[in-house]
Structure 1
Amino acid sequence: MNPRIPPFDELPMIDTLGLRHSWDVFGRDDNVGTINHLTPERVVQAASLVRTGQVLDLTWPVDEPDPPMYGRRPYAHTIYPPARNELDDYLDGFYLQGSTQWDGLRHVRAREFGFYTGFTGEMAPGPGRLGIEHWVQHGIVGRGVLVDVARHQQQLGTPLVHTEGRSIEADEIAAAAAAQGVELRPGDVLCVRLGWPAYYEPLTHDERVEVNKTMAFPGLSARESTARFLWDHQVAAVTCDNPSFEVSPGDASIGYLHRRLIPSLGMAIGEFFRFEQLAEACAAEGRWDFLFVSVPLHVRGAIGSPANAIAVR
């Protein structure tokens, strides 16, 4: 652990929101948050995890889920010939957070207290504070760890039901990691598999429409204990394979995990990841860590980005 990183319970509090924040840990001019944990030394260590050269895609096609969720609309893909023997193409109405994606540090604010680091300035297109370009320039490369909560719950005889808003508590993530024999280390990219894509992909169009209406599925608990667990393990980023990362529907009396993590702690979170192939490969070998590589789109000032993520084993 980095001794300069204070434990969660020693972070200052925004009393009126009941949120602990890390705005002074990496400096008030910081633009990357917990991605700071991805140091050059840790990238070198993560590269040593590549043993077979197997490359696994961790993303959905950008036109999935279909129909789009959260009020988004399908994009239009146009192919045209700019010259007799050439083709070009473009997208209209493309939502940067419509599929496997990162929530950037501009995505959520802590009400009147501002975005991460307490920034309260204007968020406009183009380069600026907390835009996704800062993660692009730093890079999101490090040791990935898959914690297969879905597999662990199945083995316990209590499989997850993907039509119910079941909260996955921090101690359940820890228990699944312990059952796998994998240890979380500072700077890890934690990948939590709940198995939602395996449930969703076989559904008919009408069944998918119903999912969009109910929006009930398991996800990470919004309790403070989740934020404490992630911060104290000094994870660089945490990703999940459900649509909203946290449990849906949420409970206002418990809080909003996005607000606990993004503006308060500067934590990089990813949604809609796809871990099915990775889970099979990890289980077959009994090895749950790998080189994680993600290259967000270099859209200056963007709120989020497609993840473009792979695991290299």
Structure 2
Amino acid sequence: MAPPAEPLPSLDQLPLRKGDPPNSAWGLWGDGPDSALGSLNYLTEELVARTVQEEIKTGERVGLDLPLDFFDPPLLGRAGFEQKIVDKDPLVVNDDVVTFNTQVSSQWDSLRHFAVTQTDVHAAPRTEINGMQTWCAKGLAGRGVLIDYASYARRNGITIDHFGPHRVTLASVKVIAEEQGLEFRTGDVFFLRTGYSAAYKALDQDTRNKVAGVGEWCGLSQSRETTEWLWERQFAAVTCDSPGFEVRPPTEKEWHLHPILLAGWGTPIGELFDLDGLADLCEKNKRWSFFFTSAPLNYTGAVASPPNAIAIM
């Protein structure tokens, strides 16, 4: 589907239809099957072809998924990763069976993670409404852009409390983008690196046990200004290496981004992505944009999925 007609409505003009939830953009992509893709509609064949030509220069690539068993114990009380290896005796063959919560490690939140109403999501077993299966027909591919807040903080003597409500302000994002010479484009996939996974890896087991039960973390600071900036950028998706993309607890509850992005705009949120190797590649090449691909799990009604994501320079 083609992108929505210009000019884009302002944030003040949302919702687009009377009676819709505040700040929602229902109807921006019509009411047909493409509406289930939300802002992923920006990832057109033309955009992908252009991005391949512009962004793939060295062929270097890095995976962006943390191991499924990285967080031990799992964060927020979620079910952890389990593996059972099946000996197919008398054959010299093995299978394995794995079980895990789809949000136990690197993940995409589908549009049904923050549902407008639970009635639709739970109306029938494995209903397709706002699930992820629509994404899987073509996968995700396009231009990724990295804001490396972790490196910025280190250079400027800023101590990040990764396991508390440390705010990454919009002002910081803008400064970093300018320093990196990074220009945002409609349909970009936005990546924010805080250094969360490296900080977690450095924890001893007792501290990991404590962190698993605390619902606080670093992330993008909420505000009307931040929401307006995200709306005007029209990213295809947004991602971070912390558990929730946005800081928790929210700095301003009115501008809690999960319901606005997922349920209101149809913009996927990526969390706990592994961005440290990507940051190293970007620094090496002095370029903070890249070609990005992702192939989520394909099953009906998915609430979330490991991203199976790769960045290519």
Q: Same fold by TM-score, threshold 0.5 exceeded?
A: yes
**What is the CA–CA distance in structure 1 between the aligned matches of 2:173 and 2:18, rounded to whole Å?**
28
Change (3 A) 1:15 1:254: farther
**What is the CA–CA distance in structure 1 between the aligned matches of 2:21 and 2:170, rounded to whole Å?**
19
- Which residue does 2:70 correspond to in 1? 64
1:9 to 4, 9, 12: 12
**What is the CA–CA distance in structure 1 between the aligned matches of 2:17 and 2:149, rounded to whole Å?**
32
Q: Secondary structure at 2:98's aligned position in 1?
A: strand
Change (3 A) 1:213 1:81: closer
Task: Say whether residues 1:201 and 2:201 are aligned partners.
Answer: yes
Stretch moving more, 181-190 or 248-257: 248-257
- Which residue does 1:36 correspond to in 2? 41
Q: Is the 8 A contact 2:75 2:211 kept in 1?
A: no
- Which residue does 2:171 correspond to in 1? 171
**Superimposed CA distance per residue, residues 256-300 of structure 1 (whole angstroms, 9 cap, x where no aligned partner):** 221121101111110001111110111122111111011000021
| Displacement after TM superposition at 1:109 (Å) | 2.2
Change (3 A) 1:152 1:16: farther
- Which residue does 1:135 correspond to in 2? 135
**What is the CA–CA distance in structure 1 between the aligned matches of 2:7 and 2:98, rounded to whole Å?**
45
Q: Could you tell me the percent identity over the aligned residues?
A: 35
- Which residue does 1:223 correspond to in 2? 223
**What is the CA–CA distance in structure 2 between the aligned matches of 1:85 and 1:254, rounded to whole Å?**
59
> What runs of 5+ residues in structure 2 fail to find an aligned partner?
none
Aligned 1:82-161 pairs, distance under 5 A: 82-83=88-89, 84-92=91-99, 94-110=100-116, 114=117, 120=120, 122=122, 124-126=124-126, 128-161=128-161
| Displacement after TM superposition at 1:255 (Å) | 4.3
- Which residue does 2:24 correspond to in 1? 21
Change (3 A) 1:41 1:292: same
**What is the CA–CA distance in structure 1 between the aligned matches of 2:17 and 2:152, rounded to whole Å?**
36
> What runs of 5+ residues in structure 1 fail to find an aligned partner?
none
Q: Is the 8 A contact 1:101 1:272 kept in 2?
A: yes
Q: Is the 8 A contact 1:177 1:183 kept in 2?
A: yes
**Superimposed CA distance per residue, residues 23-46 of structure 1 (whole angstroms, 9 cap, x where no aligned partner):** 010023410111111111111112
Change (3 A) 1:272 1:295: same
**What is the CA–CA distance in structure 1 between the aligned matches of 2:106 and 2:96, rounded to whole Å?**
22
**What is the CA–CA distance in structure 2 between the aligned matches of 1:306 and 1:199, rounded to whole Å?**
21
**What is the CA–CA distance in structure 1 between the aligned matches of 2:60 and 2:177, rounded to whole Å?**
23
Q: Is the 8 A contact 1:223 1:257 kept in 2?
A: no
**What is the CA–CA distance in structure 1 between the aligned matches of 2:121 and 2:243, rounded to whole Å?**
29
| Displacement after TM superposition at 1:252 (Å) | 6.7
- Which residue does 1:306 correspond to in 2? 306
Change (3 A) 1:155 1:46: same
Q: Is the 8 A contact 2:17 2:26 kept in 1?
A: no
**What is the CA–CA distance in structure 1 between the aligned matches of 2:80 and 2:150, rounded to whole Å?**
30
**Superimposed CA distance per residue, residues 163-217 of structure 1 (whole angstroms, 9 cap, x where no aligned partner):** 3302222232122111110101011011111111111112111111121233332
**What is the CA–CA distance in structure 1 between the aligned matches of 2:280 and 2:157, rounded to whole Å?**
19
**What is the CA–CA distance in structure 2 between the aligned matches of 1:166 and 1:146, rounded to whole Å?**
19
Q: Secondary structure at 2:77's aligned position in 1?
A: coil
TM-score by length of 2: 0.90
Cα RMSD of the aligned pairs, angstroms, is: 2.3
**What is the CA–CA distance in structure 2 between the aligned matches of 1:252 and 1:234, rounded to whole Å?**
21
**What is the CA–CA distance in structure 1 between the aligned matches of 2:72 and 2:60, rounded to whole Å?**
29
Q: Is the 8 A contact 1:241 1:273 kept in 2?
A: yes
Q: Aligned letter for 2:235?
A: V
Change (3 A) 1:302 1:181: same
Q: Is the 8 A contact 2:221 2:251 kept in 1?
A: no
Q: Aligned letter for 1:56?
A: V
- Which residue does 1:45 correspond to in 2? 50
**What is the CA–CA distance in structure 2 between the aligned matches of 1:213 and 1:123, rounded to whole Å?**
31
| Displacement after TM superposition at 1:145 (Å) | 0.6
TM-score by length of 1: 0.90
Q: Secondary structure at 2:145's aligned position in 1?
A: strand
Stretch moving more, 13-22 or 249-258: 13-22
**What is the CA–CA distance in structure 1 between the aligned matches of 2:221 and 2:18, rounded to whole Å?**
21
